[in-house]
Chain A
């Protein structure tokens, strides 16, 4: 009796397994790859503590569920030289079976755009399957924020600003250039290890201007705003479908830098300087973090990953779980992602020349 029961259970199990594998094949077969029993390595060229780690750790379990065959997805960290080391390593990887993906960030994009001699990687060789946007917010101590006349920042021109910076050639280029365009006299204090250190410097009263990316702002600065020790100055904004800068959907009540610039005499929202700022903002924020398959990836693999990320986005609870951890920003796949990649890795020659020149004049940085 017992034996019979067991046999029946085994038989039922076999049928179920066969049906399940058939179903999987029906989805993946022909235009996809099956990763059953495989382990997907997601290489992040930063340490475990950064924003990219949080982003990858958010997506990894969801991606595992959405990929055909439900492979294990592990995040591997390969920090070094501000992500250049990991990106150079990824450039040398050949596509094998779709079990290797790479997550880049704004800090990977900027050295590439500025022709840093250490960069031995080429974005055009890689295959993008996801592009995630983010934003940024600049903030001030309350007494200085009170000096602003509406959106007009010209009353701040006589203040000596101190800003804790990670380096002028990194993402900090965007805020530094923006403040300079407003005519603010901001002196960057270099040598901090992450934007969190910059916030601490602000909290100690040593820095009197700072910026954070959206998720760090929500977590680290919102409590200061509630306690009355910090006031938001402006967001960098977001891009609409036509490439115009509009208010950041995560911070709809904050003016964008464009509005502040318009309201401040001496700051132009057209011309060489503005174009350069916008080009680097577009490269650094609206498509800050991207997932790539290595050079030579098969079309099947690209389709499989694109569908998987689309499936993640289509989850009923995606808006809810992502808002708290990533903010309300576009998560782009397919054609959208390719478009985002193009705008993030191509800046006009003039914009690049302007920034290279500005870095060398203002900070003595030579990129050769």
Chain B
């Protein structure tokens, strides 16, 4: 029996791997970093892992995993602080927590809401880890049978999730995913090396855009800019209050809700690509449906906290299933996780079926670490809640330049090129516009992440199948339509149908009112223009490299059809229709600053960097921002700038990195870090 002979010893080996003081030390370090990342609004797993990425190279595999898992597992626990205390989602996975958690805090029951949330998070995290253990045991023999057609179908299944993310206007969701996939095809094609939407005169684009940059640009930057425009004051925060035990008792009284929502979290997490941004809404919806007295939701119902918080930790366990088993990322942060694992040790751990075959002990070490990180994270959150809560009282104008500095540094790690910052800014702008006009950003990111596997697996499966068909019709059919493929096709079709039906009730990013016609129309036309250019560009690829042409042409073709239909609908419908969703209308009262003046600060940093190099530009940016935008004294601004620069130098020094140089550096030789 394989279970006894292979899996049990591996489980034991894995426990031995992680139960060492140094491993636990790294785990705690990862947890503490994850706490900070989670507490800061706008930063989530993608930003956290991108910062760790450069440290992973050559690190002992178990230590590196402890650091990363510690961080990933605790983000959905610690993001609760911002959701409950400030009414701002700490990361995309706890948007629903705001609805009832924030009103509770306003009533002075913050501690009760937090402790109920932590208890739910811990429980959900452990359910996720248990599920992962069992699933690996059961699925291992099946996964080892996976070949290219099966991997292709798993990818297509992930893409089909766009249906459920699409929001109120399904076509917009599909167009967003199509745009994401087209951005993913930029650069050298994998099959024949033909260029798509790039030229050799701009070497940066030849390698395509990196996930770190797209992830940060699409999610982190729009959130930071939006919060910065609102300029929340410190006085918003209410005291924590008492009632820690009440919260835990609340959770225990609703334990079955917690169980059900954990299972929802695991299932949603398993589905490739779906990830964190919807799981909390689904769980919230379930909590509302299963509660008799629905009147209190939205004004401080404890079940509205327990449901989402149980699900968003459980989803990390589920999200590791496609990541570890198939090497297909379960979410944006998991995509970075896959890249990071390849850097560990001597680079001989490959996520996917081969890992289950050759590194079963490492696989189970990840599971143990996940469970342990949830426990450690919850304990620290409770023990240090007073201190962590104080972090949320920092006015956002003081936090934003620091967050922006960290994001720029993380983005710059991917290519070590000034163009990294330009790309970050450009994608960030796209993200801001997509957020404004309620285009699904999760759908965009799924498209981007799965674009490359979808294209490569499709091309390879076709080519291998052709060769099989040449040997015989039956052999070809056997290859393409294996039982696993057929099962996956059925699941995919079901998910599309159910997804489209449910989509209208799930608002992944909250409700958005409609505004005037002009702005949404202009954005749609810009998207259409890009898609048309990309379509023409792909069509020009010559025949001998047809494999690089088919995919972008097909995807942009579908997206263009969607956009044109949207355009026709826009002409017919009144401007109150959901088509014309415009967040500028919804948030008009809350915004204290204009979009363009806020953006100008960051554009200024970019332009200065190209002139005088990153470190000098950053010093000027930090100082000016704190002095003029945040309105602090000269001395405070100087201190802030010094601290920020010191932090950057420390990170860069650890990693032996230079900063992007500007024009100045091409005329003068300056000492590090100004080079």
Which residues of A are at the interface with B, using a C-beta cutoff of 8 A? 39, 48-49, 53-54, 57, 74, 76, 78-81, 84-85, 88, 117-118, 160, 162, 164, 167, 169, 187, 189-193, 196, 200-201, 203-206, 219, 363-366
A200 near B347 with CB under 8 A, answer: no
Known interface pairs A160-B470, A164-B460; 13 further A-B residue pairs with C-beta atoms within 8 A, sorted by A's residue number? A54-B347, A80-B207, A81-B207, A88-B203, A118-B200, A189-B463, A191-B455, A191-B547, A192-B456, A204-B353, A206-B148, A365-B544, A366-B544
State the CA gap A48–B207 with chains docked (Å).
Answer: 16
* 24 A–B contacts, CB within 8 A, in A order: A48-B58, A53-B347, A74-B656, A78-B416, A80-B207, A81-B203, A81-B206, A118-B200, A160-B467, A164-B460, A169-B193, A190-B192, A190-B547, A191-B190, A191-B455, A191-B456, A193-B190, A200-B352, A203-B354, A204-B353, A206-B147, A364-B544, A364-B545, A365-B544
In the complex, what residues of B have CB within 8 A of residue A79's CB?
207
1/0 contact string of B459-470 vs chain A (CB within 8 Å): 110011001001
- Our count of residue pairs bridging A and B at CB distance below 8 angstroms stands at 86
Bound complex: CA A224 to CA B416 (Å): 39
Asked if B13 is at the interface (CB within 8 A of a chain A CB), the reply is: no
B191 within 8 A of A: yes
Say if the beta carbon of B346 comes within 8 Å of chain A. Answer: yes
Nearest Cβ in chain B — how far from A41, in angstroms?
Answer: 8
B347 touching A48, Cβ below 8 Å: yes
Complex Cα–Cα for A343 and B635 (A): 64
Q: Tell yes or no: B521 within 8 A of A by CB.
A: no
Q: How far is the CA of A57 from the CA of B57 in the complex (A)?
A: 11
Task: Give Cα A74–Cα B464 distance, bound, in whole angstroms.
Answer: 43
| Cross-chain contact of B348 among A74, A118, A206, A219 (Cβ < 8 A) | A219
Tell me if B301 counts as interface (CB < 8 A to partner A).
no
Which B residue sits closest to A96, measured CB to CB?
B669
The answer to whether A205 touches B203, judged by C-beta atoms less than 8 angstroms apart, is: no
Kindly state whether residue B25 has any CB partner on chain A within 8 Å: no
Q: Are B347 and A205 interface neighbours, CB within 8 A?
A: no
Interface residues of B in 25-61 (CB under 8 A from A): 57-58
Are B350 and A48 in contact, with the CB atoms below 8 A?
Answer: no
Determine whether B386 belongs to the interface, using a CB cutoff of 8 Å to chain A.
no
Interface string of B325-363 (1 = CB under 8 A from A): 000000000000000001100111010111000000000
Chain B residues with CB below 8 A from A200, complex form: 350, 352-354
- Residue of A whose beta carbon sits closest to that of B352: A200
Given contacts A80-B203, A162-B467, A206-B147, contact A190 B190 (CB under 8 A): yes
- How far apart are A212's CB and chain B's nearest CB, in angstroms? 13
Which one of B147, B188, B207, B463 contacts A204 once the chains associate, using CB atoms below 8 Å?
B147
Cα A365 to Cα B192 in complex, Å, equals 8
B292 in contact (CB, < 8 A): no
A365–B543 alpha-carbon span in the complex (Å): 11
Contacting residues, chain A, for B141 (C-beta < 8 A): none
Q: Mark B140-165, 1 if CB is under 8 A from A, else 0.
A: 00000011100000000000000000
A-B pairs, 10 with minimum CB distance: A364-B544, A191-B190, A190-B191, A191-B456, A48-B57, A74-B656, A49-B347, A191-B191, A204-B147, A189-B463
Q: Say yes or no: B463 contacts A117, CB within 8 Å.
A: no
Alpha-carbon gap, A206 to B190, bound state (A): 18
Given A49-B342, A206-B148, A187–B467 Cβ distance below 8 Å?
Answer: yes
Interface string of B177-214 (1 = CB under 8 A from A): 00000000000101111000000100100110000000
Of all chain A residues, which has the CB nearest B150?
Answer: A204
Interface flag for B518 (CB, 8 Å):
no
Contact B191 A49 (CB under 8 A): no
Interface size on B, residues (CB 8 A): 40
Chain A residues with Cβ below 8 Å from B16 are none
Chain A interface helix/strand/loop/mixed = mixed
CA distance A80 to B455 in the complex (A): 20
Chain A contacts for B455, CB-based, 8 A: 191
CA distance A203 to B147 in the complex (A): 10
- By beta carbon, the residue of chain B nearest A76 is B656
> Contact at B207–A187, with CB atoms within 8 Å?
no
| A206–B464 touching, CB < 8 Å | yes
* CB of B68, distance to nearest CB on chain A (Å): 16
- Interfacial chain A residues near B347, Cβ < 8 Å: 48-49, 53-54
**B interface residues (Cβ-Cβ under 8 A, vs A):** 57-58, 146-148, 188, 190-193, 200, 203, 206-207, 342-343, 346-348, 350, 352-354, 415-416, 455-456, 459-460, 463-464, 467, 470-471, 542-545, 547, 656
Residues on B with C-beta less than 8 A from A84 are: 203
Give the Cβ gap from A193 to chain B, nearest Cβ, in Å.
Answer: 8
Q: What is the minimal beta-carbon distance from A204 to any residue of chain B, in angstroms?
A: 5
B4 → chain A closest CB, angstroms:
21
Among candidates B57, B346, B415, B463, residue contacting A80 with C-beta atoms closer than 8 Å: B415
Chain A residues lying within 8 Å of B464, measured Cβ to Cβ, are: 162, 189, 206
CB contacts (< 8 Å) of B543 on chain A: these are: 364
Chain A residues near B467 (CB-CB < 8 A): 160, 162, 187
> Which residues on the A side are within 8 Å of B343 (C-beta)?
48-49
Q: How far is the CA of A191 from the CA of B455 in the complex (A)?
A: 9
Tell me, rounded to whole Å, the shortest Cβ–Cβ distance linking B524 to chain A.
33
Q: What are the residues of chain A within 8 A of B58 when measuring CB–CB?
A: 48, 57
Q: Which of B193, B470, B471, B544 has the most CB of A within 10 A?
A: B193
In the bound complex, what is the Cα–Cα distance between A117 and B203 (angstroms)? Answer: 13
Question: Which of chain B's residues have a CB closer than 8 A to the CB of A365?
Answer: 192, 544
Chain A min CB distance to B295 (Å) = 55
Please name all residues of chain A whose beta carbon is closer than 8 Å to the beta carbon of B200 when the two chains form the complex. 117-118
Closest chain B residue to A188, Cβ basis: B463
Which residue of chain A is the closest to B457 with respect to CB atoms? A191
Residues of A within 8 A of B190 (CB): 190-191, 193
* B460 in contact with A167 (CB, 8 Å): no
Q: Are A160 and B147 in contact (CB under 8 A)?
A: no
Q: B41: shortest Cβ distance to chain A, in Å?
A: 32
Q: Measured between alpha carbons, how far is A162 from B463 in the docked complex, in Å?
A: 9
CA distance A191 to B545 in the complex (A): 12
In the bound complex, CA of A251 to CA of B146 (Å): 33
Question: Which residues of B sit under 8 angstroms from A118, Cβ to Cβ?
Answer: 200
CB-CB under 8 A from A54, the residues of chain B are 346-347
Min CB–CB distance A201 → chain B (angstroms): 8
Q: Name the residue of chain B whose CB is nearest to the CB of A88.
A: B203
Choose among A85, A201, A206 the residue that contacts B203 (Cβ–Cβ < 8 A): A85
Cα A173 to Cα B20 with chains together (Å): 48
Q: Provide the bound-state CA to CA distance between A189 and B462, in Å.
A: 10
The distance from the CB of B414 to the nearest CB of chain A, in whole angstroms, is 10
| In the complex, chain B residues whose CB is within 8 Å of the CB of A76 | 656
| Chain A residues near B459 (CB-CB < 8 A) | 189-191
What separation, in Å, do the CA atoms of A347 and B95 have in the docked complex? 63
Residues of A within 8 A of B192 (CB): 167, 190, 364-365
Which of A85, A189, A203 has a CB less than 8 Å from the CB of B460? A189
In whole angstroms, how far apart are the Cα atoms of A204 and B146 in the complex? Answer: 8
* Chain B nearest Cβ from A200, distance in angstroms: 6
A160 adjacent to B354 (CB under 8 Å): no
Return the chain B residue nearest A166 by Cβ: B190
| Interface contact B471-A160, CB-CB below 8 Å | yes
Chain B residues near A167: list those with CB within 8 A: 192-193
> In the complex, what residues of A have CB within 8 A of residue B547's CB?
190-191
* Residue in chain A with minimal CB distance to B58: A57
Docked complex Cα distance between A80 and B460 (Å): 23
Kindly state the separation between the CA atoms of A76 and B416 in the bound complex, as whole angstroms: 10
When distances are taken between beta carbons in the complex, the residues of chain B under 8 Å from A88 are 203
In the complex, which residues of chain B have a beta carbon less than 8 angstroms from the beta carbon of A57? 58
The docked-state distance in angstroms from the alpha carbon of A13 to that of B614 is 42
Question: When chains A and B are docked, how far (Å) is the Cα of A192 from the Cα of B342?
Answer: 15
Bound-complex Cα distance A76 to B57 (A):
11
| Contact between A187 and B463, CB atoms less than 8 A apart | yes
